[in-house]
Amino acid sequence: MRVPMKVDYGVRALVDLAQQGSVRPIRTNEIAKRQHIPEPYLDQVLTNLNKFGFIRSRRGPRGGHLLAREASDITLSDVVAALEGRTPPLDCILNADDCVLSGSCTQRDIWSGVEDAIQSVLTATTISELANPQVPVTVIR
């Protein structure tokens, strides 16, 4: 699995906001600087995170971004689904009819298991866990 840049930047921005707390809105340029993300691209990602209800954004001199939900209520699975949609390793995993070989394919079950394992880890991991390095992230093996 390759993590799209949009998802990487979105997760980093959410972790940054979680680490900063909800005392005041955090400006885009502050997040961009701390996370080494190009500000124009981060603007687009933050707009999407706002659209999907992960953050609240405010314009103006006292503007910025805050988490709209508790960091412990935002899973990596939620973020990936919002920013990228579901992208399994092979198209036939979502719809076996897409492939003429699916009835006799020996690979489909393996790749489906890989997809299930990835989704399991993403669903079990929250922004809060990533924002708090003292709490070990649980990885299912």
The answer to whether 65 and 85 have CB atoms below 8 angstroms apart is: no
In sequence order, the β-bridge partners of residue 55 are: 67
The sign of the dihedral angle between the CA atoms of 92, 96, 99, 101 is positive
Domain boundaries, the chain: 5-131
CATH of the domain spanning 5-131? 1.10.10.10
pLDDT (tens digit, 0 to 9) for every residue of the chain, 141 residues total?
A: 688 999 999 999 999 999 998 889 999 999 999 999 999 999 999 999 999 999 999 988 889 999 999 999 999 999 999 998 877 666 676 677 777 776 777 787 788 888 889 889 999 999 999 998 775 555 555
* C-alpha separations of 89 from 33, 82, 113, 115, 119 in Å: 33, 18, 10, 7, 12
pLDDT in tens, 55-96: 999 988 889 999 999 999 999 999 999 998 877 666 676 677
Q: What contacts 114, CB < 8 A, 6 or more positions away?
A: 1, 89
